[in-house]
Every structure is written in structure tokens, then in C-alpha cells.
């Protein structure tokens, strides 16, 4: 079952007695728990019919007793068990889960892990409850996921701004949502998020970032690349080497694949870059400047300097020095 399905059912007043939320992505679990805590019951109903436990401090008899109580001045009770992975003897809830009270909605938040599917308890959860099992979003899925999240706010975002936002924040979905909220508050009547908005409200330079460095490398624009590296050197938190290199590696892996094609037209390359015209044109330039063999050598160099960045075969050079060395070697290919 998905987050959208669970919350959609709740909005339509369709409830099951038990919801088990588990897995490695806390964002989706928090979305469901937050809705259960603040939206299933009205404020007046919640005073009598909302009970919240935390796994570290909870004991199974107290949770079961809360679930077995009938609602007061309302149709249902909501019982939340947060951080359930920290609860001792959680499998003692099995008897209740097998025969839950229909007027109670029990929502269990079991983060960063999953039940062992071989156990009786796990089988009881799957048979008698609704299971949400979450996974981390892969890096290549982040732009599209973030774009959809932005659209849920009634906004849109241009491609460059989207990549700036995703690259700066990474796979922290809660922070991504909070930054989008902050931007939406400051946009006033605007509906399109631009690079200026990312710079002003998130704090990412639209001129000195890894994507501008990527563009400079594609064009073999050495002076621009050095200016960006000097900015990184003055602002170490803006783009650490261990964030820059994976982005460049992902990009030149795509260039390597695209360069192997017979067709290097804009339309042929757009699918590699989320159908973005600017990115496809940038890729055409990179292919012209480096070709297939050059892209392969760049990937090997990026691997070499990634190892240097973590201290292997490094004679004490700092991030900026390593990056300058790397850029010189790339641009002389």
C-alpha cells in the first residue's frame, strides 16, 4: 500500500484497524503519522480519542489497553505508536493485531528497519493490518520526485533551479519539503521557482555551483572553471569535493553512453537529461570536445580523484588543489 492510498482512504473516511509503517525512508512514514495525528480526528475529538506512545517508553499492555477502549464523543479512536523499533516486546501486540477493535485506528511507525518476514508476528501484521514498506529514493529519481512535490504546492520550477535544489540538499526528503515550503511562502504571487529563488531562499549560488562547473568542463572553459573552484575554496560548505565528484561522475557516465550512439542530435540526447533542451545542447558540446574515449578517460580520472579525496595516494593536497589538478587533466584531454 502507498502513502497516497492510505491518506486517500482516510480522506474518504475509509479506515482499517491497523496500519504498520516500516522501512528505510522516514519521510513517507512521517507523512502518514502526521496526517493520522492531525487530520483523522477533529480538534475536539482528539482531546478524548487520540493517544500517542513512543516506543522507548511504551509497554505493550498500555498500548493494547488504549486500543481496546471505545471512543468518546466520536466514531473512532486513534492510537499512534511512534518510534516503535525501540519498543521492547513489540511482538506481544500480536494477539491484538489478530483481533483488533474496529473503532480503533492503530498506526505503528517502525523506522529504519523491517520486520523479519519469517516470524509469526510479521505474518499477523500482513494478514490483519495494512502494511506500508518504504524505500529510499534513488538519486536519479530525486529530480522527478521533487518536481512532483513542488507541483503539489501549486508551483512549477525550471530545470536548472530544480537541479540546484536537489544537488544542494540531496536525499533528505524532509529538508527538501521544508525548503520548498519556505520558497513558496516567499514567492508571493509567483508560480514558477527560478535559480534566483534558490539562491535567495535556499542559499545556493546560481553562478558558482557544481552544474556551472559541469558546464565549464563541457565547454573546456578553463577560466570559468577556475573561478568556480576559487569560490568553492572560499566557501568550503558550498560544494565539498565528495559532493562534486559524484555529480560529475553521473554526468560524464551519461556523456560516455550518449557518445557511443551514432546519433548525437538534440532529440537523441534529451532522454538522457530529463528531456531538457539546455542539458542536451550542453551534452552535444561535451561530446564534441571529448568524444567517447575522452569521456571514458574523464570517468577514470574522477575515480582516481575520488580516492585521493578520501586520502588514498594523496600527498596532503586539499579539496581545491585536487579539483584544480583534476580540471587541468580533463581539459588537456
pLDDT tens digit string along 288-301? 999 999 999 999 99
Confidence band, pLDDT 50/70/90 cuts, at residue 175: very high
Grid look-up 561522475 returns 249
Q: What domains are there in the chain, each with its CATH number?
A: 3-134 (3.40.50.300), 139-201 (1.10.8.60), 210-331 (1.20.272.10)
Tell me what pLDDT residue 276 has.
81
Tell me what pLDDT residue 43 has.
93
What is the reported pTM?
Answer: 0.74
Tell me what pLDDT residue 138 has.
85
Tell me what pLDDT residue 125 has.
93
> Does residue 1 surpass a pLDDT of 90?
no
Closest C-alpha among 240, 196, 214, 218 to residue 288 = 218
> Does residue 160 surpass a pLDDT of 80?
yes
Across the range 210-221, mean pLDDT stands at 94
Segment among 32-36, 137-141, 153-157 with least mean pLDDT: 137-141
Output the DSSP codes for 224-291: HHHHHHHHHHH-TTTS-HHHHHHHHHHHHHHHHHHHTSS--SHHHHGGGGTT-HHHHHHHHHHHHHHH
> Does residue 315 surpass a pLDDT of 80?
yes
Across the range 245-257, mean pLDDT stands at 94
Amino acid at each position: 500500500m502507498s502513502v497516497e492510498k492510505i491518506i486517500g482512504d482516510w480522506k474518504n473516511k475509509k479506515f482499517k484497524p491497523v496500519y504498520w509503517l516500516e522501512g528505510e525512508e522516514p519521510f513517507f512514514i512521517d507523512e502518514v503519522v502526521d496526517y493520522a495525528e492531525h487530520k483523522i480526528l477533529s480538534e475536539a475529538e482528539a482531546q478524548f480519542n487520540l493517544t500517542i506512545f513512543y516506543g522507548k517508553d511504551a509497554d505493550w499492555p498500555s498500548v493494547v489497553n488504549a486500543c481496546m477502549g471505545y471512543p468518546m464523543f466520536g466514531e473512532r479512536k486513534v492510537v499512534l505508536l511512534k518510534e516503535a523499533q525501540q519498543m521492547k516486546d513489540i511482538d506481544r501486540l500480536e494477539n491484538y493485531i489478530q483481533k483488533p477493535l474496529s473503532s480503533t485506528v492503530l498506526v505503528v511507525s517502525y523506522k529504519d528497519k523491517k520486520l523479519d518476514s519469517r516470524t509469526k508476528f510479521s505474518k499477523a501484521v500482513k494478514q490483519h493490518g495494512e502494511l506500508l514498506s518504504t524505500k529510499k529514493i534513488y538519486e536519479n529519481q530525486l529530480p522527478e520526485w521533487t518536481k512532483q512535490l513542488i507541483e503539489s504546492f501549486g508551483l512549477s520550477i525550471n530545470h536548472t533551479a530544480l537541479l540546484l535544489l536537489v544537488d544542494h540538499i540531496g536525499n533528505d526528503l524532509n529538508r527538501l519539503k521544508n525548503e520548498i515550503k519556505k520558497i513558496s511562502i516567499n514567492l508571493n504571487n509567483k508560480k514558477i521557482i527560478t535559480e534566483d529563488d534558490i539562491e535567495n531562499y535556499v542559499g545556493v549560488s546560481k553562478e558558482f555551483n557544481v552544474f556551472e562547473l559541469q558546464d565549464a568542463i563541457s565547454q573546456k572553459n578553463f577560466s570559468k572553471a577556475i573561478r568556480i573552484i576559487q569560490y568553492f575554496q572560499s566557501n568550503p560548505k558550498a560544494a565539498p569535493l565528495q559532493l562534486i565528484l559524484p555529480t560529475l561522475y553521473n554526468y560524464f557516465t551519461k556523456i560516455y553512453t550518449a557518445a557511443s550512439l551514432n546519433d548525437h542530435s538534440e532529440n537523441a540526447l534529451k532522454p538522457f537529461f530529463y528531456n531538457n533542451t539546455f542539458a542536451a545542447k550542453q551534452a552535444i558540446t561535451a561530446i564534441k570536445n571529448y568524444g567517447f574515449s575522452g569521456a571514458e578517460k574523464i570517468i577514470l580520472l574522477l575515480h582516481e580523484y575520488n580516492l585521493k579525496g578520501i586520502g588514498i595516494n594523496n600527498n596532503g593536497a586539499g579539496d581545491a588543489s585536487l579539483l584544480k589538478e583534476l580540471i587541468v587533466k580533463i581539459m588537456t584531454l
